[in-house]
């Protein structure tokens, strides 16, 4: 297998390299791709150093798979060019997620939407991934009517510049700002840009991507996305209205036996998921599972996941693993 990683020097790109190594996916040829200013630099992968190449050179090389983590504009321009050569593209940006011909994949849920003809495969938004991992088994068992989600999103979702901003603020250093306000000791109800309906793009991603992945455009979804000064991962407070009655013990048992989901839910022992402790894990963690006493057939939950791993790198690598297992890539 010949593998290109577009955006190899970025925060998520580096995490993808780490996950590939951990999961022992070592291609016969690895082409790290980055912007022109990084071309010629070296990237460590699989115990070897690999020179960074330009994206046009990677296209000419005729790779089998190209994983993108370089922003939507780059993906819109270059993903089709890789696909035209016969390569599968796994794209981590939002560029292709809502295209009808592109599957939006969380492997535990809908890997079978990938075929030999779906050359561009979209990796969902980080917040959406952890949400649908918990919603899917509930939907299958009880039916799903409505979801209200409030997110508490790590600054790492914005990238290295956001980490630098928070570090500078904590140390009293002036520097470049990527947020319109101070982030340290603060919460910003402003993830991505605002749209005409007064929701942000991040909030609308949660709405539209959840419906697409779960295959039901009638599910009511509403979201408020908040950026918080946290490094370990994203957290979500989720209120779920189901179509049929449930038993809390049954819900916990169901989620406990869902691959990729870990239940941490023991209030008497003060045990529940937290981003500080769920960092560097590939699973999605859920706790604070309780009945909404204000409305029938409704649950409250708290969901936490490392946004750089399951929310980005790990999910993309799992898609690659599916391509290999299904022998779509050799």
Q: How far apart, in whole angstroms, are the C-alpha atoms of residue 141 and residue 254?
A: 9
104 bridge partner residues: 122
Residue 37, number of CB atoms within 10 A of its CB: 9
Q: How far apart, in whole angstroms, are the C-alpha atoms of residue 42 and residue 59?
A: 19
Both tokens of 121, joined, read 């495969």
**Which of 50, 102, 191, 234 does the annotation list as catalytic?**
234
Q: How far apart, in whole angstroms, are the C-alpha atoms of residue 86 and residue 65?
A: 9
Both tokens of 201, joined, read 């793009």
Beta strand pairing call for 120-122 and 88-91: parallel
Q: How far apart, in whole angstroms, are the C-alpha atoms of residue 224 and residue 236?
A: 10
Q: How far apart, in whole angstroms, are the C-alpha atoms of residue 226 and residue 55?
A: 34
Residue 28 burial (CB < 10 Å; 0-12/13-18/19+)?
exposed
Instruction: State the DSSP code for 125.
Output: P
Q: How far apart, in whole angstroms, are the C-alpha atoms of residue 251 and residue 137?
A: 9
**Are the C-beta atoms of 125 and 143 separated by less than 8 Å?**
no
Cα distances (angstroms) measured from residue 58 to each of 20, 91, 145, 184, 260: 19, 15, 45, 40, 33
**Whether residue 234 lies in the annotated active site:** yes
**Whether residue 126 lies in the annotated active site:** yes
**Which of 50, 126, 191, 281 does the annotation list as catalytic?**
126
What three-state secondary structure class fits 85?
coil
Which residues are part of the catalytic machinery?
A: 126, 234
């Amino acid at each position: 297998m010949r593998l290109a990683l577009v955006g190899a020097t970025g925060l998520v790109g580096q995490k993808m390299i780490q996950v590939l190594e951990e999961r022992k996916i070592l291609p016969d040829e690895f082409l790290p791709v980055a912007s022109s200013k990084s071309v010629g630099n070296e990237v460590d992968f699989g115990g070897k150093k690999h020179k960074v190449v330009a994206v046009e050179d990677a296209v000419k090389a005729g790779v089998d798979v190209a994983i993108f983590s370089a922003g939507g504009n780059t993906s819109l321009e270059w993903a089709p060019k890789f696909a035209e050569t016969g390569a599968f593209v796994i794209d981590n940006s939002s560029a292709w997620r809502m295209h009808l011909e592109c599957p939006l994949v969380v492997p535990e849920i809908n890997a079978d939407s990938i075929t030999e003809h779906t050359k561009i495969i979209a990796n969902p938004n980080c917040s959406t991934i952890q949400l649908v991992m918990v919603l899917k088994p509930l939907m299958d068992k009880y039916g799903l009517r409505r979801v209200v989600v409030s997110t508490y999103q790590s600054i790492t979702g914005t990238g290295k510049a956001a980490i630098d901003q928070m570090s500078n603020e904590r140390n009293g250093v002036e520097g470049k700002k990527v947020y319109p306000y101070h982030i340290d000791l603060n919460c910003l109800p402003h993830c991505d840009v605002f749209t005409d309906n007064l929701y942000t793009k991040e909030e609308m991603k949660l709405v539209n991507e959840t419906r697409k992945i779960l295959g039901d455009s009638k599910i009511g979804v509403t979201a408020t996305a908040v950026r918080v000064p946290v490094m370990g991962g994203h957290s979500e407070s989720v209120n779920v209205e189901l179509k049929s009655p449930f038993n809390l013990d049954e819900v916990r048992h169901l989620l406990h036996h869902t691959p990729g989901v870990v239940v941490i839910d023991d209030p008497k022992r003060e045990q529940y998921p937290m981003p500080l402790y769920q960092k560097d894990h590939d699973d999605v963690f859920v706790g604070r599972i309780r009945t909404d006493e204000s409305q029938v057939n409704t649950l409250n939950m708290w969901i936490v996941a490392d946004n750089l791993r399951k929310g980005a790198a790990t999910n993309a690598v799992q898609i690659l693993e599916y391509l290999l297992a299904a022998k779509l890539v050799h």
